[in-house]
Amino acid sequence: ITFEGRFFIDPRAGIVLSLHKKLDSISEADSEKIKIGTTKRGIGPCYSDLIARVGIRMSDLLQEDQLRTKIKNLFHYHKTELENFEEQVESLLQAGEYFKPFLTQVPYFLESNRNKNLLFEGAQGSLLDVIYGTYPFVTSSHTIAGGISAGSGYSPRNIEKIIGVYKSYYTRVGEGPFPTELLDETGDRIRKQGNEYGATTGRPRRCGWFDAVAARYTAIINGIDEVALTLLDVLTGITELKICTGYSYKNEIIEQFPDNISILEELKPVYLSLPGWKEDITGIVGFDELPENAKAYVAKIEEILNKKVSIISVGPDRSQTILRTT
């Protein structure tokens, strides 16, 4: 497969350096700081540098004098000894030459292709958004639909449809509050059947029941038009399924997703129970063919979110997808 004409990098993209990885590891290992559970890939420190206006971007790799100045400034900013300066400069200059054919001003590229079908795919869950997620247990960027414009320069006026992708249950990697987490055999079963292990680190994902309070919140902040419900087949064989419809906090029922993790860590989920199904659904291609209890589970999620579930996955293969056109 050739990358030519298929792979593009905006010159404004930030560069993750070995320094950032070192800073990430040091921060995560600090016993006096809250452990976020990062991947230790240096992404957070890289974003921090960009916000602090000391970061190095792709376009800098094509300007040697500017690059030298910025590297010195970056290490001075972090009060870190600058070692092997010439080697670092040479390595980055070589990277710049390698990636030069792929550098494209993405806003102009997208504008010139507006007459085509454009698909933007979110990389992480909405509750990891740096502002609207479960702060501070979040990533360093905007993972909600608004991140399309912030991350690519594509105007929000041009976005025609937003599909919210939800698992049929909930998962989380790393630290942070998780009201519906299952620390029992059911949670282990979901993890095993759903192959729930982090794509980057391989860490086991924490698994729990579908949290409709969180789902409603993310539907609002993303402005979703419809829902894609994935991994429905993973729930096959579980006798009783549960959906969190509210939270109990200090003898009150709250239906809004809290803005502070201290509340999330103390509340208790309020569940609606639904009967499960035993039938194998991995070969089903139409919604009406699903077991009644599976259809009821999907319908309840539609009712709570007030959004149509238009796509349902019943297996890992692309063909194991149910499309509901009506």
DSSP 243: E
Query: How would you write the pLDDT of the chain (326 residues) with one tens digit per residue?
Result: 888 899 999 999 999 999 999 998 887 766 566 666 677 889 999 999 999 999 999 999 999 999 999 999 999 999 988 888 999 999 999 999 999 999 999 999 999 999 999 999 988 899 999 999 999 999 999 999 999 999 999 999 999 999 999 999 999 988 899 999 999 999 999 999 999 997 777 889 999 999 999 999 999 999 999 999 999 999 999 999 999 999 999 999 999 999 999 999 999 999 999 999 999 999 999 999 999 999 999 999 999 999 999 999 999 999 999 999 76
In contact, 180 and 207? CB cutoff 8 Å: no
Map out the domains of the chain as residue ranges. 18-104, 105-160, 161-323
Helices (H), 30-160: 43-51, 64-77, 85-99, 106-112, 147-152
Neighbours of 317 (CB within 10 A): 9
Q: Does domain 161-323 have CATH number 3.90.170.10?
A: yes
Cα-based distances in Å from 311 to 104, 127, 286, 299, 322: 33, 22, 11, 13, 6
In contact, 128 and 110? CB cutoff 8 Å: no
User: How would you class 27 by CB atoms within 10 Å of its CB: exposed for 0-12, middle for 13-18, buried for 19 or more?
Assistant: middle
Q: Residue 307 and residue 216: Cα distance in Å, rounded? A: 10
Q: Which of 44, 54, 100 is nearest to 76 (CA)?
A: 54
What's the first-to-final CA gap in the chain, in angstroms?
Answer: 38
Hey, which residues does 103 pair with through a beta bridge?
9
Q: CA angle, 271 as apex, 307 and 250 as ends, to 5°?
A: 110
In contact, 95 and 101? CB cutoff 8 Å: no
pLDDT at 105: 97
Q: Residue 270 and residue 268: Cα distance in Å, rounded? A: 7
184-216 per-residue burial string, b: 16 or more CB within 10 A, e: under 16? eebbebbbebbebeeeeeeeebbbbbbbbbbbb
Query: Regarding beta strands 240-249 and 252-254, do their DSSP bridges make them parallel or antiparallel, or are they unpaired?
Result: antiparallel
Q: What CATH number was assigned to the domain covering residues 18-104?
A: 1.10.300.10
In contact, 49 and 80? CB cutoff 8 Å: no
pLDDT at 34: 65
The amino acid at residue 220 is I
pLDDT at 240: 98
Return the residue matching tokens 């192959």. 195
Which pTM value belongs to this model?
A: 0.90
pLDDT at 285: 94
268-295 per-residue burial string, b: 16 or more CB within 10 A, e: under 16? ebbbeebebbeeebeebeebeebbebbe
